[in-house]
Amino acid sequence: MALIVQKYGGSSVADAESIKRVAKRIVDTRRAGHDVVVAVSAMGDTTDELLDLANEVAPIPAPRELDMLLSSGERISMALLAMAIHSMGFEARSFTGSQAGMITDAKHGAARIVDVTPVRLREALDEGAIVIVAGFQGFNRDTRDITTLGRGGSDTTAVALAAALNADVCEIYSDVDGIYTADPRVIPRARKLDSITSEEMLELAANGAKVLYIRAVEYARRHGVLIHARSTFSSVEGTYVLGEGQRSPRETEGAVMEEPIVAGVATDLTQAKITVSGVPDVPGKAAEIFTVVAKSGANVDMIVQNVSAASTGRTDISFTLPKADAATALKALAGEKARIGFENLLHDDQIGKLSVVGAGMRTHSGVSATLFEALSEGGINIEMISTSEIRISVVLRGDDLAEAARAVHAAYGLDSEIEAIVHAGTGR
Amino acid sequence: MALIVQKYGGSSVADAESIKRVAKRIVDTRRAGHDVVVAVSAMGDTTDELLDLANEVAPIPAPRELDMLLSSGERISMALLAMAIHSMGFEARSFTGSQAGMITDAKHGAARIVDVTPVRLREALDEGAIVIVAGFQGFNRDTRDITTLGRGGSDTTAVALAAALNADVCEIYSDVDGIYTADPRVIPRARKLDSITSEEMLELAANGAKVLYIRAVEYARRHGVLIHARSTFSSVEGTYVLGEGQRSPRETEGAVMEEPIVAGVATDLTQAKITVSGVPDVPGKAAEIFTVVAKSGANVDMIVQNVSAASTGRTDISFTLPKADAATALKALAGEKARIGFENLLHDDQIGKLSVVGAGMRTHSGVSATLFEALSEGGINIEMISTSEIRISVVLRGDDLAEAARAVHAAYGLDSEIEAIVHAGTGR
């Protein structure tokens, strides 16, 4: 008998029918002899609807009250889910974040978990009940106020519960059936991975893959939680996300499969590029530029500085950032043009980013050569390059991104023989 | 500076606009220099929508989970209300039933308040904040579970808070501007009362008047809370409900106005009449009949037994009960026909009940004579009569009820010179 934590996102519990389907799934797990703890998000668009209401009554809603408001969403879904399970003849009890012992700091809207004390959950499990916990929400001990965890909060709730209860596995259910070598909507021949290391998963997620939230994967890695990403709509196994020393439950004892060199290809069309040209090539200019950008609130991703032309003593610095942040960053930089002493600002929101991620890059050479070759053969121009220990990213024209990704995916031998079935949407 | 508790029902906070209007009203009270504690119901039809969802996922929802579900409704309205006040520049904090110290027994769906420990509310008031509390909900100390108070719960929350905080007045806001001498939809010349005694209010509420819930009025009477029933949509004073020894704040010191003999006329079309005819006139038969009826779950109101005809040794017993309970009660009685030994069961759901209520009946004679005279002059037939210390009720044909009420209202001199303005709907 194992202790299994399951997380269901908003699209998995969008209406009464979906809730009953999820309830049946939970009951099946219980019938198989396991203890089950479930973290659940708010139904479908509930959170957005509540946010709309908040904005209607207050231009800038008070953060404490916004958390009180939003946390009602999971109360609804968890109570309905517990009822549905109950009516199938199984004991189920729902708990709010505070009842579940999800202790956070007091930062409303983006609270961090500081402790998990699942006393009531253990009691309920000992009494044979299925435990349903509100995702996304916590409780601050000092203020005694309700908090919410921000984006990806329910995934983090599930992983934190799995860590605190020492669960055997944390199953994250969504409308995709695992982690793919690429986004199947971009590359129909993307292949589902049996497993992926958590560091690869983090790089993929940071570069455009949307199945799991970085924060939850980080938490899992730090606390040794085994994540199993799988689909609400099918019973096939999904993808295991393995921390250090963890092994996929599917591997037969002793038979260590060879690690693939490249785990996947991520694509990202959400970024823009800003080029600051004619920057005096003297120490401290990059620091000046990125201090201004950081103060504007923008989240810079890739940075590339070209070698300066000896004749001018000036250089160009390019960086990428979320499209939504570009206008503010440009305005901030323009205001400091005289002080920094650059010549021009260029803005380009038609870029695409392609990243190849694989832990095998550490021990294999020639990985980047394959990438550049594939792009070159496709006649695709590379505008920026950036690398980490296990990732190579290139910036291309946005229009070229899908074609480039297909070429690269094939070049690394990742293509499957069949095309993937694609569902749309993600939970919170 | 006074401490004022205000209660707003669901129709007063049905949408963003209404919430802003209520927020402004609360802020005005604060601006006038008062401390304000607000109990608020769920928005508009939220509770019914949540109930519908519950019934979709489970035929008989688990009571603990149903309370968890329903209690989310007030979380939404109270957080929105606090935000709206906040954005008007005033500090406001919302509290759930459990945070507000509303301690109840563990009877889910119909919990009784056993203690109120408003420690956090006092702290917030001391810090100058406006306090918003979720109506309708509480918390059981033993199970540590969330409970709901059942029908009229938010009114009861408000009165219980007023009692625990020793508030100067508990203002119950709704879409009617006070207590009337009759339902203005039935009698357009009904007059708003400046004040009414709590015992009169209880009799009126028990006999069809819908402005205040019996339970809240009882709680107020027991704990000496002064209730002020008034309208969300106007600033005119409403009606004070006075407990023993309490006096309306509108009365000038020393000038005790003469108590009116009759406070009001209540009408009720929700009851049915069952007549058990040919009952053997021997001791114990009434007990047998009403034990059977009680076991069926029906709530019997009036009971009348006619004098038995000496020739037959049999008598007829008639009683009224809510129309919804009639079928079950009839079935239960029919099943015991042989044992009880009655001859026939008659069912009549076309009746109406008219009640005249007034504390002055204790000291004035001739009150019932006025009633019977008025009905007789109108050619209206009386089918049953029942009286209490301060009330006379008669059962008539339902079709005659409105005309009868108008005649009786006029006969007691209650008619106002102008017609009342009528709004529709009630809160929870």
For chain A, which residues lie within 8 Å of any Cβ of chain B, measuring from their own Cβ?
16, 19-20, 23, 50, 53-54, 56-62, 64-66, 68-69, 71-73, 75-76, 78-84, 86-87, 92-94, 99, 120, 144
A146: part of which helix (H) or strand (E)? Answer: strand A146-148
Check: CB of residue B104 under 8 Å from CB of residue B160. Answer: no
Distance from CA of A17 to the nearest CA of B (A): 7
CA A39 – CA A131 distance, rounded (Å)? 9
> Which pLDDT value is given to residue A115?
96
Helices (H) and strands (E) in chain A, counts: 12, 20
Question: Are B60 and A87 an interchain contact pair (Cβ–Cβ within 8 Å)?
Answer: yes
- Neighboring chain A residues of B123 at a CB cutoff of 8 Å: none
> A224 is written with which tokens?
């040794």
pLDDT tens-digit series, residues A128-173: 999 999 999 999 999 999 999 988 899 999 999 999 999 999 999 9
Query: B144 vs chain A: nearest CA distance in angstroms?
Result: 9
Q: Do A56 and B92 touch (CB under 8 A)?
A: no
- For residues B354 and B405, is the Cβ–Cβ distance under 8 A? yes
Q: Which of B17, B68, B143 to mutate to test the interface with A (most CBs of A within 10 A)?
A: B68
Q: What pLDDT does B260 receive?
A: 72
CA atoms within 13 A on the CB side of B156: 26
Q: Which of B54, B81, B84 sits opposite A80 (nearest CB)?
A: B54
Chain A hits for B58, CB-CB cut-off 8 Å, are: 83-84, 86-87
Distance CA B130, CA B23 (A): 10
DSSP B359: G
Lowest mean pLDDT among B254-268, B285-299, B408-422: B254-268
Mean pLDDT of the region B38-51: 95
In percent, the amount of chain A with pLDDT more than 90 equals: 73
> Are residues A57 and B20, on separate chains, in Cβ contact within 8 Å?
yes
Task: Give CA separation, A228 vs A158, A182, A225, A238, in Å.
Answer: 11, 18, 10, 6
Torsion angles phi and psi, residue A169, rounded to 5: -155, 150
B314 half-sphere exposure, CB direction, 13 A CA radius:
11
pLDDT tens sequence across A278-289: 998 888 888 899
- Token pair 């694609």 is found at A422
Residues of A in contact with B84 (CB under 8 A): 57-58
Q: Which two tokens stand for residue B261?
A: 């003999």
To the nearest whole number, what is the mean pLDDT of chain B? 91
Chain A partners within 8 Å of B64 (Cβ): 93
Interior angle at CA A373, CA A370 and CA A375, nearest 5 = 110
Q: Which residues of B145-156 are buried (b: 16+ CB within 10 A; e: fewer)?
A: bbbbbbebbbbb
* Contact of B344 with B293, CB cutoff 8 Å: no
The pLDDT mean for chain A works out to: 91
Residue B106 above 60 pLDDT? yes
Which chain B residues have a beta carbon less than 8 Å from that of A44? Answer: none
In this structure, how many other beta carbons lie within 10 angstroms of the beta carbon of residue A126?
9
For residue range A309-325, list pLDDT tens digits in order: 667 788 889 999 999 99
Q: Which DSSP helix (H) or strand (E) runs through A272?
A: strand A271-280
Chain A residues in contact with B79 by the CB 8 A cut-off are 54, 65-66, 68-69, 72
Note whether A50 contacts B86, CB cutoff 8 Å. no
Average pLDDT over residues A238-259: 75
pLDDT greater than 70 at residue A421: no
Please report the pLDDT score of residue A314 as a whole number: 87
Phi, psi at residue A347, to the nearest 5°?
Answer: -125, 130
> Is B79's CB within 8 Å of A93's CB?
no
Contact criterion met (CB < 8 Å) for A59 and B87: yes
pLDDT at A425 over 50: no
Q: Residue B58 pLDDT more than 90?
A: yes
What the block records as the tokens of A356 is 């190849």
Residue labelled with tokens 């990704």: A405
Query: What value does the mean pLDDT take over residues A396-401?
Result: 95
Tell me, yes or no, if the pTM score tops 0.80.
yes
The reported pLDDT for the residue numbered B426 is 40
Of B64, B76, B87, the CB nearest to A72: B76
Contacts of B87 in chain A (CB under 8 A): 57-62
Size of interface A-B (CB pairs under 8 A): 120
Query: Cβ distance A159 to A153 under 8 Å?
Result: no
Find the residue in A nearest to B67 (Cα).
A79
Give the residue from B15, B17, B65, B145 with the most A CB atoms within 10 Å of its CB, the best one to mutate: B65
pLDDT at B249: 81
Range in A50-59, B200-209, B280-289, B414-423 with the lowest mean pLDDT: B414-423
Is the C-alpha dihedral spanning A132, A136, A140, A146 positive or negative?
negative
**A278: exposed, middle or buried (C-beta count within 10 Å: 0-12, 13-18, 19+)?**
middle
Quick one: which of B163, B50, B61 has its CA closest to B108? Answer: B61
d(CA A93, CA A107): 28
Contact A75 B66 (CB under 8 A): no
Nearest CA in chain A to B49: A76
Indicate whether B240 pLDDT > 50: yes
3-state SS of chain A: helix, strand, coil percent to 5? 35, 25, 40
**Cβ-count burial B348-380 (b if 16+ within 10 Å, e if not):** beebbbbbbbbbbbeeeeebeebbeebbeeeeb
**Over the stretch A352-383, which tens digit does the pLDDT of each residue have?**
999 999 988 888 878 888 999 999 999 999 98
Q: How close A87 gets to chain B, by Cα (Å)?
A: 6
| pLDDT tens digits, B330-384 | 999 999 999 999 999 999 999 999 999 998 888 887 888 899 999 999 999 998 8
CB atoms within 10 A of CB A204: 31
Examine the pLDDT at B421 and tell me if it is beyond 90. Answer: no
- CA nearest to A49 within chain B: B76
Instruction: Report the gap between the CA of A79 and the closest CA in chain B (Å).
Output: 5
Contacts of B54 (CB under 8 A, 6+ apart): A79, A80, A83, B61, B66, B69
Q: Give the count of beta carbons closer than 10 Å to the beta carbon of residue A396.
A: 21
Q: Which among A62, A72, A83 has the least Cβ separation from residue B65?
A: A83
pLDDT number for residue A428 = 41
Can you say how many angstroms the Cα of residue B350 is from the centroid of all Cα atoms in its chain?
Answer: 23
**Interface touch B53/A76, C-beta < 8 Å:** yes
Q: Which domains does chain A have, with CATH numbers?
A: 3-255 (3.40.1160.10)
Chain B: closest CA distance from residue A220 (Å): 30
Count the alpha carbons within 13 Å of A400 in the hemisphere toward its beta carbon. 19
Distance from CA of B81 to the nearest CA of A (A): 8
**Across B398-409, average pLDDT:** 95
Question: Residue A188 is inside which H or E element, if any?
Answer: none
Interval B210-218 mean pLDDT: 89
Of the partner residues B62, B82, B144, the one whose CB lies closest to the CB of residue A83: B62
Whether the CB-CB separation of B356 and B367 falls below 8 Å is answered with yes
Amino acid at residue number A111: A
Q: What is the structure's pLDDT at B173?
A: 95
Contact A87 B61 (CB under 8 A): yes
- Taking the CA of residue A125 and the nearest CA in chain B, the distance in Å comes to 15
Q: B304: which strand partners?
A: B318
Q: Which pLDDT value is given to residue A422?
A: 55
pLDDT for the residue B305: 80
Give the residue from A68, A93, A141 with the most B CB atoms within 10 Å of its CB, the best one to mutate.
Answer: A68
SS3 A298: coil
| Of A19, A65, A86, Cβ closest to residue B79 | A65
Sort out which chain B residues have CB atoms less than 8 A from A53's CB and list them.
16, 76, 80
Instruction: Please give the share of chain B, as a percent, with pLDDT higher than 70.
Output: 95
Average pLDDT rounded to a whole number, residues B260-276: 92
User: What span, in angstroms and rounded, lies between the C-alpha atoms of A404 and B400?
Assistant: 84
Q: What is the dihedral of CA B153, B154, B160, B162, to 10 degrees?
A: -160
At A189-242, the pLDDT tens digits run: 999 999 999 999 999 988 888 788 899 999 999 999 999 999 998 889 999 999
Q: Which chain B residue shows the shortest CA-CA distance from A24?
A: B57
What pLDDT, on the 0 to 100 scale, is given for residue A368? 87
Q: What secondary structure does DSSP assign to B156-214, as a single string? A: HHHHHHHHHTT-SEEEEEESS-S-BSS-TTT-TT--B-SEEEHHHHHHHHHTT--SS-H
pLDDT of B134 reads 97
Q: Is A88 exposed, middle or buried (0-12, 13-18, 19+ CB in 10 A)?
A: middle
Question: Å from B151 to nearest chain A CA?
Answer: 20
The predicted model gives B227-232 an average pLDDT of 94
Which has the higher per-residue pLDDT, A5 or A306?
A5
Q: Average pLDDT of A77-104?
A: 97
Q: List, for residues A256-273, the tens digit of each pLDDT value.
A: 555 678 999 999 999 999
pLDDT for B124-178, tens place per residue? 999 999 999 999 999 999 999 999 998 889 999 999 999 999 999 999 999 888 9
Query: Hey, which bits of A32-87 come out as E strands?
Result: 35-40
Q: Contacts of residue B80 in chain A, CB cutoff 8 Å? A: 53-54, 57, 65, 69
Q: A65: distance to nearest CA of chain B, Å?
A: 5
Interchain pair A50, B76: CB under 8 A: yes
Q: Give the distance from residue A48's alpha carbon to the nearest chain B alpha carbon, in angstroms.
A: 13
Residue B120 has pLDDT above 90, yes or no: yes
pLDDT over 70 (residue A255): no
Least Cα separation, residue B172 to chain A (angstroms): 23
d(Cα A264, Cα A272) in Å, to the nearest integer? 23
